[in-house]
């Protein structure tokens, strides 16, 4: 964070001082980072006391101070220097981000965090910082990582680790920026209408990217239209001086050109209406890494991606459009994209073990769109991405539940089961016995004369035992589910099973 006095922070958030005199608060400066985990606090830091399901941050204030925090942002005095904000009441809107916030004290601290982040963002933007906001149903983190990679040659980039895309992670990321930061790349996620507008208030993006309108969190929104309206809060919030990058291949995203005052840059595949930044001649290598020709500003540049799956073409085009807006040349963009491998854990990390087994670890997240993208990548790798015609590898899809689909859950799971058969996946391992997973299994069995290829197991341990016993050198295994299904550890275990398997926590870059 930029260096601010405790008194100035109290003024920004409208808080009162506790256990520190006004004179001391005017002299004491926060020079370190802002943290909500007391174990991450370092010298000069600011600690956010947030309630949690297991413990209350207020109880860790003393530990944070001992670790070097100069002050705590809290909802009540904590016995060490603090800026205290009043609880907002149990029904406060931000309470949804926190698992446990009975009296709204967490909501109050989050509101203060938002105000602090906004003040810091405004000051940094006045000094030349460019804020880039990314939203979409699938691919925000993947695209955020690509955007960070293409901007890195142009200046100092701050981007969140993993997702960090809600009312806690987003302002936390904003406060990582310093006066040296040139680009702040933010992921913006929504569970309810108004969420993205609120995040855009915290850090107003000069460049907004909308990837797609899918079915993630359909259960909470009720309809795809409602999801589209919520995603369109990003283009609506970008001012006329800014730029909005829209994926023209998704009609619901393309339509957002009508709701923004900003200049629109359309990206997409070659089609009848040529976008501003577009790809043609797309092909995939043997690990489903796309290659394509990038067309932008009259230039045609060959691009090879270091990330896996055809869906990454859209993500890369969005990243290219952002970099071009920020002053990069097409060759520079192509070089940066080539060097950008998977960064965030359990998202399409492809690991080939010494015995030739390829593990596609996509265990962090799943919705119907990303399941289709993951299964397609599996099929493409099994077929050698077109690069090794004739040598089809045995493919395994070890799939767990897609969360938060509401009343569509049964139908969507059944469809994925059918799709696995249609894509000619050799072995489907359905993990879990709930209604959704039974529907997936049923879908696969119904679709093919393929019964033996689809098995249902109770839990990740049983799935791991099965795959370990039956996987053969050269096979390809996709592991995919929503995070809650707990398949990440299974993917790690499979990757570690043979020499050459890289532990997934050591990102390959
Ligand atoms: N453009 C895309 N279209 C469809 N699926 C995609 C796309 N980009 C990435 N995916 C897949 O979607 C899943 C989630 O990717 P990622 O983590 O990048 O999305 P996200 O939008 O950040 O998700 P979250 O809302 O959980 O933060 C992964 O399985 C990934 O392979
Ligand atoms: Mg994400």
Residue 383 in this model has a pLDDT that exceeds 60: yes
Question: DSSP states of 346-368 as a string?
Answer: TSSEEEE-TTS-EEEEETT---H
Residue 271: predicted pLDDT: 76
Across residues 479-486, what is the average pLDDT? 94
Alpha helix (H) ranges present in 326-425? 330-338, 368-382, 409-422
230 is in an annotated binding site: no
Closest C-alpha residue for ligand 1 atom 10: 139
Whole-number Å distance between alpha carbons of 77 and 306: 50
Considering every ligand atom shown, identify the ligand nearest to the alpha carbon of residue 137 and give its number: 1
Q: Is 136 assigned a ligand-binding role in the annotation?
A: yes
- Structural contact between residues 214 and 133, judged by C-beta atoms closer than 8 angstroms: no
Atom of ligand 1 nearest to the CA of 371: 29
480 among the known binding-site residues?
no
Percent of all residues in the chain with a pLDDT value above 90, rounded to a whole number: 79
CA of residue 140 to ligand 1 center, whole Å: 6
pTM for this one? 0.90
Predicted local confidence at residue 164, as pLDDT:
87
pLDDT for residue 444 is more than 70:
yes
508 pLDDT band, cuts 50/70/90, is: very low
435's enclosing H/E stretch is: helix 435-447
Pairwise CA distance, residues 340 & 62, whole Å: 41
The mean pLDDT value for 238-256 works out to 97
Residue 509 has pLDDT above 50, yes or no: no
Pocket of ligand 1 (CB under 6 A): 136, 138-142, 163, 165, 187, 189, 211-212, 309, 311, 314-315, 347-348, 362, 365, 369-370, 373-374
Write the pLDDT tens digit of every residue in 73-117: 999 999 999 999 998 765 554 546 777 888 889 999 999 999 999
What is the per-residue pLDDT across 412-435, written as a single tens digit (0 to 9) for each?
999 999 999 999 999 999 999 999
**Per-residue pLDDT reduced to its tens digit, 274-323:** 899 999 999 999 999 999 999 999 999 999 999 999 999 999 999 999 99
The gap from C-alpha 78 to its chain's centroid, in whole angstroms, comes to 34
Atom of ligand 1 nearest to the CA of 344: 17
> 124: left (phi > 0), else alpha (psi -120 to 50), else beta?
alpha
The strand ranges marked E within 37-175 are 46-48, 71-74, 82-84, 130-135, 157-158
Among protein residues, the one whose CA lies closest to atom 9 of ligand 1: 139
Residue 328 has pLDDT above 80, yes or no: yes
Q: For the chain, what is the mean pLDDT?
A: 91
Alpha helices in 20-153 (DSSP H): 22-27, 61-66, 105-126, 140-151
Question: Which domains, from first to last, does the chain contain?
Answer: 4-98 (3.40.1390.10), 128-339 (3.40.1190.10), 349-496 (3.90.190.20)
Under the phi-then-psi rule, with left for phi > 0, alpha for psi from -120 to 50, and beta for the rest, what region is 479? beta
For residue 185, what are the β-bridge partners? 132
Nearest CA to ligand 1 atom 13: 370
- Strands (DSSP E) contained in 261-356 are 263-269, 277-284, 290-296, 299-304, 349-352
Position in ligand 1 atom list of the atom nearest CA 315: 1
Work out the average pLDDT over 190-210: 95
Question: How distant, in Å, are the alpha carbons of 116, 139, 214 from that of 127?
Answer: 17, 30, 37
pLDDT value at position 94? Answer: 53
| Closest atom, ligand 1, to C-alpha of 314 | 1
Distance 142 CA to ligand 1 centre (A): 6
Distance 144 CA to ligand 2 centre (A): 8
pLDDT at 178 over 60: yes
pLDDT-derived band at 165, boundaries 50, 70, 90? confident
Residue nearest (by alpha carbon) to ligand 1 atom 19 = 139
The DSSP code sequence of 444-465 is: HHHHSS-GGGEEEESSHHHHHH
Band (499; pLDDT cuts 50, 70, 90) = low
Q: Atom 4 in ligand 1: which residue has the minimum CA distance? A: 370
Report the atom number in ligand 1 closest to the C-alpha of 143.
18
Of the residues 133, 142, 315, which should be mutated to test ligand 1's pocket, given the most ligand atoms within 8 Å of the CB?
142
In the β-sheet with 71-74, what is the strand arrangement from edge to edge?
16-18, 82-84, 71-74, 46-48, 34-35
């Amino acid at each position: 964070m930029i260096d601010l006095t405790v008194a100035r922070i109290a003024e920004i958030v409208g808080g009162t001082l506790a256990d520190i005199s006004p004179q001391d608060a005017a002299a004491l400066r926060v020079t370190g980072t802002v943290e909500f985990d007391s174990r991450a606090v370092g010298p000069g830091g600011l600690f956010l006391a947030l309630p949690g399901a297991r413990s209350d941050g207020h109880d860790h204030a003393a530990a944070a101070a001992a670790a070097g925090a100069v002050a705590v942002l809290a909802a009540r005095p904590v016995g060490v220097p603090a800026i205290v904000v009043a609880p907002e009441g149990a029904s406060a809107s931000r309470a949804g981000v926190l698992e446990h916030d009975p009296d709204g004290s967490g909501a109050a601290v989050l509101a203060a965090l938002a105000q602090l982040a906004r003040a810091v963002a405004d000051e940094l933007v006045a000094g030349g910082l460019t804020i880039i906001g990314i939203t979409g149903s699938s691919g925000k983190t993947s695209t955020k990582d690509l955007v960070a990679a293409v901007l890195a040659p142009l200046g100092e980039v701050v981007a969140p680790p993993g997702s960090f895309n809600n009312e806690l992670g987003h302002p936390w990321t904003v406060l990582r920026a310093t006066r040296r930061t040139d680009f702040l790349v933010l992921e913006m996620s929504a569970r309810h209408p108004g969420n993205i507008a609120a995040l855009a208030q915290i850090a107003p993006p000069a460049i907004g990217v909308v990837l797609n309108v899918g079915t993630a969190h359909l259960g909470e929104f009720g309809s795809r239209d409602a999801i589209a309206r919520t995603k369109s809060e990003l283009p609506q919030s970008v001012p006329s001086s800014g730029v909005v990058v829209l994926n023209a291949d998704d009609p619901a995203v393309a339509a957002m050109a009508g709701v923004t005052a900003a200049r629109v840059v359309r990206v997409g595949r070659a089609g009848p209406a040529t976008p501003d930044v577009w790809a043609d001649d797309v092909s995939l290598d043997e690990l489903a890494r796309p290659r394509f020709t990038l067309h932008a500003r009259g230039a045609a540049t060959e691009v090879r991606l270091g990330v896996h799956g055809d869906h990454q073409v859209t993500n890369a085009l969005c990243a290219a459009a952002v970099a071009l807006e920020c002053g990069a040349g097409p060759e520079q963009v192509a070089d940066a994209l080539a060097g950008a491998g998977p960064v965030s854990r359990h998202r399409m990390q492809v690991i080939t073990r010494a015995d030739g087994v390829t593990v596609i670890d996509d265990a962090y997240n799943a919705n119907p769109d990303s399941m289709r993208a993951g299964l397609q990548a599996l099929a493409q790798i099994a077929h050698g991405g077109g690069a090794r015609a004739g040598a089809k590898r045995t493919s395994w899809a070890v799939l767990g539940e897609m969360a938060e689909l509401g009343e569509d859950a049964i139908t969507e799971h059944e469809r994925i089961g059918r799709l696995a058969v249609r894509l000619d996946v050799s072995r489907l391992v359905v993990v879990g016995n709930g209604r959704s997973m039974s529907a997936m299994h049923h879908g696969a069995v119904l679709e093919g004369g393929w019964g033996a290829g689809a098995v249902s197991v109770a839990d990740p341990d049983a799935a791991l035992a099965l795959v370990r016993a039956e996987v053969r050198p050269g096979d390809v295994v996709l592991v995919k589910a929503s995070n809650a299904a707990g398949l990440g550890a299974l993917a790690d275990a499979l990757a570690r099973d043979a020499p050459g398997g890289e532990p997934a926590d050591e990102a390959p870059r």
